[in-house]
Every structure is written in structure tokens, then in C-alpha cells.
Structure 1
Amino acid sequence: MDPVADPSPSRRSLKRRPPARSPELSPKAGPGAREAAAAEELIRRVEELEAAAARLRGEKEAAEDAARGLRQELDAERASAETAASEAMLMIERLQREKAAAQMEARQFKRYAEGREDREREVQDELASLSDLAASYHSRLQSHGIDPDSFTDEDDEESYEEVGAEDVEQIHMAALEVKPNARESTNGMVKTMVVGNDGEEEVEDAEEEPSSPVEKEFEYTVDVTCASTTKPATSVVAEYVGDGNSGGLYARVEALEADRVALRREISVLRAERAQLVMAREMARRLCWEMVAEQRAIVKKAVVPASSFSVLGICKWVLSTLFWRNGRSTAKYTFGLSTTFLGLLLLLDRSTLLSPWRRLPRPQR
């Protein structure tokens, strides 16, 4: 291949077109051509600027449309978020109300269970006390020669039917004879049986309030026991009256009354011993506190030097003296009180022991 015949592109000669000169710079152009060229150049630049402005205006409108769409989406998201938050708050409030209601129900159920447990415990205690009382009466009847196990319902009905109007009248007379002695010995319950013309029995109960809760409980238990054993007692009394053993019946009634008085005395002694025990405990506690206070005072006096002087201490002493004179003692008037609680009252109010001259009130001017 001949390099001269087929020259390479690198050796090919290229002629470039010279740049077009502006009509103003061309030496051959006249003044009119220069003005026309300047006008054309200005028109061309204005058209380019108008095209660029239109393009920018379109871009601005597109950006505004995009921003408007984004704003709408943001508003929709915000509304959905507010709706979800409001629903969550409503759900939280509903759950709180349900929780409060459940807690209230649980508290009420707990109180109900505790109250029911207390009532059951009280019933059990009452049953235990009644069983103990029944056992004591059972042993007492056995000690007096009466066997409660020997009486049955059938025997009671037969004995009650066998007792006639004459026997009932005799029982009524025996009750009237026993009634004054029982009224003199105790302030308890009096039962009288009145028989009418047609053979009907009327029972009148006259109750008097006992002087203490123990006596009231004792009389209540006696009333229950008597009400539950009316027929056996009637048959026993009829048997004794019919056989002419009224003396033995009176002796047995007197023995029962004596046991009742002795039991009351024992109960009062037990109550007095309990009060004395409480008083001794309080005295021991007060003495312990006083000993501790004295030891602390001795330690403080040993630590504080004798030459110390405090204005605050003097002010406290003056104020305590003024208020001490104006104060009143709770155990000032001890006349007419029980000797059992007199020592306890004086012990609880130590001011009377520390200052005996305060027991009398200051004369009024």
C-alpha cells in the first residue's frame, strides 16, 4: 500500500474557517451594517433570555406543584397521626378506668372476705364459749346429782303431758315462794307462770339490766339454758313437789344461788387482778423511762461544764414556769373514784406527785 497514494488522516491537511468577525470590527463594513448587526445580536439575546425565563418559570411551577403535593401529604400524615394519638389516649383512659374498677372490685371483695372471716371467727368463738358454758353446766348438774343425759325428748313430752293442772298450780305456788329469795339475792331475771281458767299457761319475763357486761352475759346464758330445759325442770319440780320434797328443792335452789354469787365474786376478783396487772405494767414502764431520763440527765450534767451560761436556757426556764403555773392537772380531784384505778390515774399524771401544792385550785379574784 502506497503511503503517498493513500495518505493517513494524520497527514491530511485541514482548513479551518476563520471566526466570523462582528460587523463592527470588520474593516469593510459601514456604519449601517454595524447597526443592523448590533440589532440582530440584541434581538437574539432577548430571545434567549425569554426562552430561559420561560424555562425557569416552568421549573418554578413544577417545583410549586411538587411542594403543594408534599404539603398535602404532610397534612394527611399529620391528621392520621393526630387521629392515632387521640385513639391511643382514649384507649389508655379506658384501660385506666377498667383498672380502677377492677382494683375497686378487688378491694371490696377483699373487705368482704375479711369481714366474712371475722364474722366466722366470732361465730366460732361464740360456739366455743357456748360449748364451754354447756360443759360447765353439765358438770354442775352432775355435781348436784342430776344427770342431763338421762333426759330425752320422749320422756320430756310424756312427763309434760302427765303434769296436770293441780301440779302446775303447785309449781306456781313454789315459784312464788322462791321468788322473794331470788329477788333479794340477785337482780336477775324473774319468771312467773300464770294458769288461766281454761288451763292455758302464760309466761311473763321481767328483765333488769345487770350492773356489768359479765353479769349480763351470765344472765343471758342462764335465760337460754332455762328456755332450753323448761320441760325437764318442770318434771323435776313436779316430782319433788308431788313427793313432798320441797325442802330438798329449796336447798338445791339456795346452793345454785350461792354458786352464782361465788362465780360473780370470782369474776370481779379476776377483773380487779387484771386492772392491777395493767397498773403494775404501766408503773414499771414509767419507772424504766424515769431511770433512763435520770441517767441521761446525769450524763448531760457531767459533760456540760459548770461555768456555762445560756440565754436560751433562761428563756426556756421562764416560759416553762409560766406555762406550768397556767396548766391544770387531770388527776386533781380524786375523791369518789375507785381505789383500784386511783394509783393508775396518779401514775399517768406525774405532775400531782411532783407538785402537791397544785392540787388545790387558785382562788378567783
Structure 2
Amino acid sequence: MASIFISHAVADKKLAELLADFLKQAIGVPVAEIFCSSLADNGIPFGTDFNTYIREQIEAPKLVLLLLTPAYLESAFWMMELGAAWSREHRTLPIVVPPVAFDSVTKTLGLRQAWDITKKEGLIDLRRMIVPLTTLEPRGEHAWDDKRTAWKTDLKKVLRSLVPARKIDAAAYQVVTERVAELEEEVSDLETQLDRQKDLVAALEKAKDRKEIKAIKAAHAGEDGLQEQFDNLLDEVKFARPDDTPNVVFRHLLMAHYDKEGTIDWQGADAEFTAAVHRNLLRADDGYPVRWDSKKLRPLAKALDNITAFLGSEDGRELTEQWDDSMPCEPDDIDFWKHHLPI
């Protein structure tokens, strides 16, 4: 009876052959000490009953090597070999083969010690495990090094030819199902929006003057449209903020636009405001007024004017009426900016 039993799926014959060849050529395991059902020299004798012979071989091997591939985990027959090894408490080495997840073996299947076959250093541990199990044929270190070096290249070729999984587990199926439902809902929403846009285009094509066009747009915008318009104006303020402007300085600029800048805290933020003077954000005059005429700040002044005008419009008032009572609505209130911007 063979000392080493290689448990594998029929579809993974090439991988089992690569492993068996490494055991023989690199480590020196005798042919007779390896059972691998797919290989002529290590498999089932001609004319022998397949099931009976495998049951005999799984009775008392010194080591069971489990090639855990997608095909293996989907095969009821080969999973019975795994069960047999468990029930007889044989020494086993689960060999995890991508795309099988390592966690699915060490956690889901409860096999705590395993080898990721793509980790080349595992070959050394494999040899250490096998050496005391049987009488090995002599192999020189050069043969060992050559085969270990070739392993990585040979393994890549074999892995590319493996049969992919044909099933997914229940958890993965549930995730996919939920995502499909989400996408179906998104498609429904998009179809509704598309219908609204078609109606809007049709109405605009019939409009005769600017006032009528504005009324049509407002009628089609609704609550979401007004919020989107406000969010776009907020984005303009964000983009117009001069690069590398500290929050303390940016708050000062915002309030200065509404003539509420107050006195600069030179003791608490001396470096920040000194840098603002050097970067032409503030004048070096008495009171350090903001340089709204500078190229850096003109976009910010325009963006603030736009958002102020919107909030003072009929659309803006309609939007703010929909906000929670605790939400500040006036742009000259620093709490308004603290609520809507990360400052």
C-alpha cells in the first residue's frame, strides 16, 4: 500500500501529474509509495475495480495530499475521499489551488494547516513532511534545486489549463441576486428620468420666450432638481477655493464677502494669515482687507454671488422650505458654510 495518497479531481490530472513528478524527481519518493488514480504508474491496476481499489488505498496512507481546486470542491466523489481521510484521522495536507480562496479551506472547511500551491517556499515544508514517512531514493541537491526552480514556471502553465468552477456558493449567489435587484431598480429610475427629460424637451421645443422656458424648467425640476442645482453651486464654491487655503483663512474669506470677517486672530493663526498676505489673498494694509480684485479670488466672489442669488430666488426659497428647520439657510451665517462644506 502506498505511503502517499494524492486526492484530486479527474479534471485536474495535469496538476496531479506535476505534483507526483515533483515528489519522485525532486524528493526521491519511490513510484510504489505514491497513489494517484489518474497516473498509469501510480494509479489503479488494469482490470481492478475502481471503487474497491481506491477504498483500499485510502485505508492507511501515511499522508494524504488534497488538491483543492474548483473541480475538486464541486465533485461529490472526491469530497468523499476528503471525508474518508477525516474520518480515519489520516495526516492530511490540503493544497489550496487558485481561484479557491485560502480562507475557504482554513476557515470554512476547518482545515487549519494548508499550503497555497503558489507559495514556492511550501515545497521545502512538503519535503520535510515527507522525509520521515518512507525510504527515499537518493537525490542530489542540484536535482532538488533544478526541480524547485522549474516548479513556478510549470505550475503557471498547468493552472491556466484548470477547469473553472461551474457553481457558486450560496453567499456569493445571494450577493449577486441582491445586486441584480439593485440594478433593476436603478434601471427603472433611469427610465423614469428619461421619460421626464423627453417631456421636458418636447415642452421646450414648443416654448416661445425666456420666461416660458424658465417656467417649464422649474415645473420639470421638482425637489431633486432644485437640490441638484444648489449642489452644483456649492461645487463652484469648492472649486473656486484657492489651493492650499487653510480652513481658518477660508472661513475669513467667506465672512469677508458678507462684510462679517471680524478681527484676525494673529496669535492663534499667525502663520496661516501671514501666508495669506504673501499669496495675495489679503492686503498688507490696515485691517488686512481681502483682495477680491485678485485673479485668485475673483472666481470665489462670483461663486458666492451665484449661490446668494439662488437662495434669494423663488427656487431657492422653495428649496430651503423643504430643509429641516435646524438647517441654516442664510449664506452670511458661518454655520451655513460649516454645514455644507468641510471647513
Tell whether the structures are fold-level matches, with TM greater than 0.5.
no
Greater RCO, 1 or 2 (C-alpha within 8 Å, sep 6+): 2
TM-score class, shorter-chain normalisation, is under 0.3
* Structure ranking higher in helix proportion: 1
Relative to the length of structure 1, the TM-score reads 0.23
* TM-score scaled by length of structure 2: 0.24
